[in-house]
Amino acid sequence: MTSATAIADAVNSGAVTAMSVLEHCLSGLEREGGRLVAVTRLLADRARREAEAVDAIVAAGGDPGPLAGVPYGVKDLFDVAGLPTTAGSSLYADAPPATADAEAIGKLRAAGAVLVATLNMDEFAYGFATINAHHGTTRNPHDLDRLAGGSSGGSAAVVAAGLLPFSLGSDTNGSVRVPASLTGIYGLKPTHDGLPMGGVLPFAHSFDDVGPFTLSIQDMQCVWSVLAGATSSPRTGALRIARLDGRFRDNADPGQIEAIDAIAPDAPLIELPDIGAARSAAFLITAAEGGALHRAALARDPIAFDPATRDRLIAGALLPPELYAAAQDFKARYRQQVNALIADYDVLLAPATPCVAPLIADPRIRIDGAWSPARADLGIHSQPISFTGLPSLSVPLNRPGKLPIGIQLIGKAGDEATLFRFAAMLEEEGRIGVTSPAGLFQGDSV
């Protein structure tokens, strides 16, 4: 697997051309994308035009940008000019095409990146599994019989397989962090409203954020800086770390707890208040906003929806407005309470998912000792963090030979730079890092 920054350096120096990188990438996606069920549309013609433009700038002695010639894909809810924005649903397969690219795609193009594909997702981003009735279930490159997670599963799978050096997803209640954990890569939910959402079909605006997937923390910092349009300085000096207790340790893989305690053995254990209530309120707000967004389409053609999505959206559309308002009031109070509780800490450590990737044939997980549907509950640890609006970075634990799993590094609002600094330290120490899927895709990296 080759990093985004390494590709950009090689293209900028003239060591390789953007076109040669792209053709290798297209070959891999055409050959292996079917096994992963990750790609919904391959944008070869557009990608070749963008790669040609990058090579022309380099040939003229110019600088195409920090992501020069780097191929990437986006979750199938980003507007791509000339294509309908389907959000993983057959309902909008014949919708009028987008008239412009999503704002995030525009920023990446200006930085030299080359858009190659749109990627599979749970319909309308409603799920943690990327089980899609129209496109199929995305498979985990570490074990094709297992889920990749969701709802940005296609975006995670192609990066974990080494077929793309980075991709974009969206994270409402864990839709970047869950698949990042299950496929063993880096995935960021930024500070809420910290990255441009223009031209991204919403799910629940109270929590929706654009989030990148990468193979290294250096790549993550680069992509985030391009999207944010700025760089920021991390906190200096010794970082103050805390470990999240209570529900975050009740439902966790033993390897996660062991890794968290080894990273910060002397860090205090703190418990966020009312986790159950926070997750319930997040479910309610998500359902209500999603239901309201799709109310007209549900009334017009309910059969066109995936049944699993349709029933949840209908339930959300029927929620009383006063219940939604009460949940929003609780969210505002809760965020103030959590900010006060964590004021003395720079980074909080928590599991990203409660377990490794479940089997596709039996998509259930153990929560509080009972079996629960993975599609609904893989976000048990990510959803409460979304409720706070704080940035959270899922990082892959370094455990070669085992199925991947990640932990969350959670920071203060607007302080992604400190999360990147801490992750770089853990990466250098060998505690976290990406490992190749065993025997599947190593020869196909860009």
Q: Do residues 119 and 73 make contact, with C-beta atoms less than 8 angstroms apart?
A: yes
Annotate 348-365 with DSSP letters as a single string: EEEESSSSSPPBTTS-EE
The C-alpha atoms of residue 360 and residue 249 are separated, in whole angstroms, by 25
**Amino acid symbol at 261:** D
Both tokens of 172, joined, read: 């409402």
Grouping H, G, I as helix, E, B as strand and the rest as coil, residue 54 is helix
The C-alpha atoms of residue 171 and residue 150 are separated, in whole angstroms, by 9
Both tokens of 17, joined, read: 């051309």
Q: Which long-range contacts (CB under 8 A, 24 or more apart) does 421-430 make?
A: 421/234, 421/235, 421/239, 422/239, 422/241, 422/346, 422/347, 423/186, 423/217, 423/220, 423/393, 423/395, 424/217, 424/218, 426/263, 426/395, 427/216, 427/217, 427/395, 430/398
The C-alpha atoms of residue 47 and residue 103 are separated, in whole angstroms, by 17
Q: Do residues 143 and 169 make contact, with C-beta atoms less than 8 angstroms apart?
A: no
By CB atoms closer than 10 A (0-12, 13-18, 19+), residue 372 is middle
- Nearest 5 degrees, angle CA 250-CA 252-CA 256? 130
The C-alpha atoms of residue 180 and residue 167 are separated, in whole angstroms, by 11
Bridge pairing between strands 131-132 and 136-137: antiparallel
Active site residues: 75, 151, 175
- Read off φ and ψ for residue 246, nearest 5 degrees: 70, -125
Annotate 115-181 with DSSP letters as a single string: EEEEE--SGGG--SS-EETTTEE-EETTEEEEE--SSSHHHHHHHHTTS-SEEEEEESSSTTHHHHH
DSSP assignment letter at 235: P
The C-alpha atoms of residue 186 and residue 424 are separated, in whole angstroms, by 12
Q: Do residues 196 and 228 make contact, with C-beta atoms less than 8 angstroms apart?
A: no
